[in-house]
Structure 1
Amino acid sequence: MRGAALAVLAIAAASSAGAQDIVFSEEATRRCLGAAPDSVAQEACIGKSSDACMAATPAGGTTYGMGGCLDQELSYWDGLLNTYYQTAIERAKTLDADTRKYAPEAANMEKSLREMQRAWIPFRDASCDFERAQWTNGTGAGPATLSCLLEMTGKQALKLGRFGYGS
């Protein structure tokens, strides 16, 4: 899915001279998350760094500039998601071990968490493929897809972080 969005952006890049200078920093997102008092405010942090990047990048308003900024923030959230997932898995293992002491028939939290995450990935991809399809192969398809991936990945990272106490 991400590859399809990047392929669209690569075509746009060929016609966007000078747009290769992406000015990205994770600071806006980090600062926002640090100040967020609750989960709703945390979700509002998704997109802060890519917005700042588009404003700071000379060609940030072009398809290539938007895509480059969105992809950079997507990488940030993807890394956070992976970190939070590992923390959540460890917490689920601990909770499962504690629960088995008094309720051996209880559902397996670690297994459920793994299944949920495995099911979420194709759901995210299908959702963002639908977002891309609405652009009927227009130049906005790449940024729209990356924006969707960013939003969904950020929300999932925060969800996992809340469970694993990573966020």
Structure 2
Amino acid sequence: MRALALLLLLLMGAPALAGDASGFDPAAIDRCLDAAQTQGARADCAGAGMPPCLDYARQKYTGGDPDFPMANCLDASHQAWEAKLTAVYAAALAGAAQQEPLRRMERAWIGFRQALCDQAGPAGDDLTRARCLRDETARQAALLLSLAEPK
């Protein structure tokens, strides 16, 4: 029931979070990934951009649900990672000598992510599931990026 209420708030947009007022900056993802590549390291960028988003959401949200700022930022972060993954996947697909194995891999990964995140936390723990979806999407984007890097 709490999940449904949270989903409705996210879909309808609470007045304090109307429009794209999540406070999440998708460019934080690119900055983190660029810094990791510059350093020749593989960084965990899944949480990139979250602290400023949380600060912003906590200041703007005036409702009574203490989890709403985190849920809002996790959703915004996950959406940004989905967009990043879509772009990276399209580029990988365009550059692949054989596209079908990449398509099969991505479809299998989507099923894996769903199953993993469905089991990520206790029933009804929407924040744990949202964090899982965001983190796994970020890992997949980073993996596809690393596969595209020159050897």
| TM-score when normalising by structure 2 | 0.75
Selected match of 2:66 from 62, 75, 82: 62
Counterpart of 1:40 in structure 2 is 42
Deviation at 1:165, TM superposition (A): 4.0
Selected match of 1:136 from 99, 123, 136: 123
Counterpart of 1:101 in structure 2 is none
Asked if 1 retains the 8 angstrom alpha-carbon contact of 2:22 and 2:76, the reply is no
CA deviation map 1:30-58 (0-9, x unaligned): 322221123522xx221121232112222
Identity %: 30
Asked if 1 retains the 8 angstrom alpha-carbon contact of 2:78 and 2:133, the reply is yes
| TM-score when normalising by structure 1 | 0.69
Counterpart of 2:6 in structure 1 is 9
Selected match of 1:163 from 141, 147, 151: 147
Deviation at 1:136, TM superposition (A): 2.8
Which shows bigger deviation, 120-129 or 157-166?
A: 157-166
In structure 2, the gaps of 5 or more residues are none
Counterpart of 1:148 in structure 2 is 132
Distance change >3 Å, CA 29–CA 86, structure 1 → 2: closer
Counterpart of 1:115 in structure 2 is 104
Asked if 1 retains the 8 angstrom alpha-carbon contact of 2:85 and 2:138, the reply is yes
Q: CA-atom RMSD, angstroms? A: 2.8
Deviation at 1:121, TM superposition (A): 0.4
CA deviation map 1:109-164 (0-9, x unaligned): 42211111010001100101101xx3332xxx222111101100011011112223
Greater relative contact order (Cα < 8 A, sep 6+): 1
Counterparts of 2:103 and 2:24 in 1: how far apart (Å)?
Answer: 32
